[in-house]
Amino acid sequence: MKHKIPRVAARFPAFWLILTVYLLEFGVPGPGQCHLILRQLCMWVPAVLGMMLMRLSGSDNMAVGAQMTFSAALLGVLLQRFSVPVWAACAVVLVVAVALGILYTVLSSRLQIPLFYLSLCVHLLLDGLNGFFYRMTRQTSNYAYAGADRTRWLGVPLWCWIALAALALGTAYLNRTTYGRSLFLLPWYHDVRWQEIGESRRIKTGTRLKLDLILGAANVLSCVLVGLSGILLAVRGGTTAFYSSMNYTCRILTAASIGGWMNATRCSLPVGALLGSMSLVLILMLEVHLRISSSYVEYCLRAVLNLLIAAWGSVQKKKRLQPKNRIT
C-alpha cells in the first residue's frame, strides 16, 4: 500500500504544481475559502468525469460544455416558464441527457458518423437552443430553485452529495460492471497492464457483449454526469444567464488533461477527475487574483497548459509501450 500511494501521486504532476503555486500565492485557505473551493469543485467533478469516461469510448466529446450550459438553461425554462416542480425539472434534464447519449451511440455506430464530428454538430445545436431558452426566460434569477443551493442533508450541502454520488457511480461502473471493465479492453485503449489483461480473461466471454452496448452505456452515463453538472451550474447561483459553452468546454478539457485522461486506468480515472477538477478551480481563482481572467489570455494559457500535459502524457505512454511492457 505504501508503494502504491507514490505511484498514484506521480500520475498527476500538474496538480501538485498548481497546488504549490496556489499555496505560495494565497497560503493555507481558511474555512470560507475552503467552502468556496468545495462549492465550485462539486460543480465540475461530474462533467470532468463524464468527459474522461467518453474518452474511453474512442473519441472526445466536444459538446460537453454546450450540454452543461444547455442543461442549466433547460432547467431554468422548466421552472420559470412552465412552473414545473424542481424534482420533475431535474428528472427531465436527466432524461434528455440519456436521450443524447443514445443519439450519440446510434448515429456513430449505425451511420458510422465520427463521434468527434457528431459532437461538434451537437455543440452548435445545443448552443443555439441555449440562447433560445435564455430569451424565453428573460430573467436573471428564480427563487424557486435558488434556495436549493443552501439545502443540506445530514449537515452536508446537497450539491456535495450529488458530486459524491457521481464519483461513486463512475467508480462502481468502471470497477464493478462488465461494461465498464470492457472499456479498457477496446483496441484504441493502448495503456493496458498485465493485471488488467488477467482480469479481462475472467470477464464472462459467454455473454458476447456487443460493442454498441459497451459504447452506448459509456455514452449514456457520460451524458448523465454532464447533465448533473448542468443542474449544479444552475442551482449554484439560481440563474439562467447565457453561459459561454465553448469556454466551459475548454475548462473541462483542461481539467481532464490534468487528470491524466490519456493514461487513465480503472482506479486512477475517478481520482484524476477529482484532482483535475480541483486544479481547474485553483486555476480560476489564480486567474481572478492575478487579473488575467480575460477570455483571450485564458484561452492562450489553457492551450499552452494542455499541450504541455499532452506531451508529458505521450512520453509516459511511450514508456509503458516499451518492449518489456508490451503485450504480444
Where would I find the beta strands (DSSP E) of 69-222?
152-153, 156-157
The tens-digit pLDDT sequence of the chain (328 residues) is: 455 555 655 677 888 888 998 898 888 888 888 888 888 899 999 999 999 888 877 667 889 999 998 998 888 888 888 888 888 989 999 999 999 999 988 888 778 788 888 888 999 999 888 888 877 765 545 545 555 666 777 777 777 888 889 999 988 998 888 888 877 776 544 444 433 433 443 444 333 457 778 888 889 999 999 999 998 888 776 555 556 788 888 889 889 888 877 666 777 788 889 999 999 999 888 888 777 765 666 677 777 777 777 776 666 666 655 554 444 4
Q: Per the structure block, which three cell numbers stand in for 7?
A: 505511484
Q: What is the spatial distance between Cα 61 and Cα 74, in angstroms, rounded to a whole number? A: 20
CB proximity list for 62: less than 8 A, separation 6 or greater: 116, 119, 120, 123, 249
Residues in the chain: 328
HSE, side-chain direction, 13 A CA sphere, residue 12: 29
Domains by residue range for the chain, with CATH: 4-318 (1.10.3470)
